[in-house]
Amino acid sequence: MSEQTAEFHSTALVCDMTLPWRAAGRAELRDVLPDRLRARGVDFVSFTVATDDQDAIGAIQAIAEERARILASPDRFVLVETAGDVRRAKAEGKLAIGLHFQGTLPVGRNLDLVEVFYKLGIRHMLMAYNQKNLVADGCHELTDAGISRFGHELVAEMNRVGMFVDVAHTGYQSSMEVIEASQSPVICSHGNIQALWRHARCYRDDQIQAIAVSGGVFGLTGLGIFMGDNDASVARYVEQIDYVVQLVGPRHVGFGFDYMYDMPTLSAHAAQMASKWPSDGGYTRQDIKQLEPESIPEITEQLLRRGYGEGDVRLILGENWLRLMDRIWQ
């Protein structure tokens, strides 16, 4: 990191809305990630603690484990409940950590659990993870039927308690209906762009525009199989940012790197679950490239070299996410 970039990051807030913390992988690779992120200027990261593979009990157990882990290191971490916690962590030189679900099956059909999970620290939930669930169709489902009656009720309850409504991994029709149903801004915590690379995990222009019209933010992953021809270069990532900025403006794009800390293990796991991760999606290839945390300062440098003003770069690095935290979290 150059001295100029380090100085810029010392005052800019950098947020990553998706880190699959409990994904398949070796613990020794996962456990060094917080220090890698802090060393490259990241101030806030949202950990995936459960998916559509967990029921309520499994999700609560996972939350309990991660809360204990975070709270056991108050000199390094701040468990986030409010936007103020993110600002405090930045001021204290600590990593702010939020929690989320990639899916809604931990709720089952019990809407009362939404508030319970919120009080335990869950600040956003994906509507569906690749496949159909009780709420919506996922982006890899055979159908694209939209959200269910229960899905409408769930969105309303998430709005009420102040939880981000997240359409990452969600099918096209479902995501558009969720955005229409929500009374609060809707986010895509981590996705990429269909106009630049055709993949089920990439979003059409009208989806990105609908998210922006809702007041939400579109987070970009750093995975090469979603960005184009397995290209996970900083240049390709900045191209993605620039595309969204040109489409909807700099107030509606942010980071959602979806960093897989042990890609070979995850690819082997994906090979055993083709219904969730279809082989034609590229998930099982052994050479999947992804943007490494060490590349984050270079993203800042390339944006500035492209002529982005410092104010807009600050929005993209993290202030867009912080604005939604201020607005929605209660």
Q: What is the pLDDT averaged over residues 288-304?
A: 95
Q: Please calculate the CA angle 239-256-274 and round it to the nearest 5 degrees.
A: 100
The confidence score (pLDDT) of residue 165 equals: 98
The confidence score (pLDDT) of residue 300 equals: 96
Per-residue pLDDT tens digits for 120-137: 999 999 999 999 999 999
The confidence score (pLDDT) of residue 275 equals: 83
Q: Provide the H-helix boundaries in 143-201.
A: 149-161, 172-181
* Exposed/middle/buried for residue 235 (C-beta within 10 Å: 0-12, 13-18, 19+): exposed
pTM of structure: 0.97
- Model confidence band, residue 5 (pLDDT cutoffs 50, 70, 90): confident
- Model confidence band, residue 272 (pLDDT cutoffs 50, 70, 90): confident
Whether the per-residue pLDDT at 111 is higher than 90: the answer is: yes
Q: Quote the CATH superfamily of domain 3-328.
A: Metal-dependent hydrolases (3.20.20.140)
Per-residue pLDDT tens digits for 189-215: 999 999 999 999 999 999 999 999 999
Q: Which helix (H) or strand (E) holds 124?
A: strand 122-126
| Structure-block tokens of residue 130 | 């690749």
Per-residue pLDDT tens digits for 130-171: 999 999 999 999 999 999 999 999 999 999 999 999 999 999
- Model confidence band, residue 280 (pLDDT cutoffs 50, 70, 90): confident
The confidence score (pLDDT) of residue 273 equals: 84
Instruction: Give the span between the Cα atoms of 122 and 80, in whole angstroms.
Output: 9
Backbone torsion region of residue 249, taken as left when φ is above 0, otherwise alpha when ψ lies between -120 and 50, otherwise beta? left
Instruction: Give the span between the Cα atoms of 324 and 330, in whole angstroms.
Output: 11
Instruction: Give the span between the Cα atoms of 188 and 176, in whole angstroms.
Output: 12
Mean pLDDT, the chain, rounded, equals 96
* Exposed/middle/buried for residue 206 (C-beta within 10 Å: 0-12, 13-18, 19+): exposed
Q: What is the pLDDT averaged over residues 167-179?
A: 98
Whether the per-residue pLDDT at 41 is higher than 90: the answer is: yes
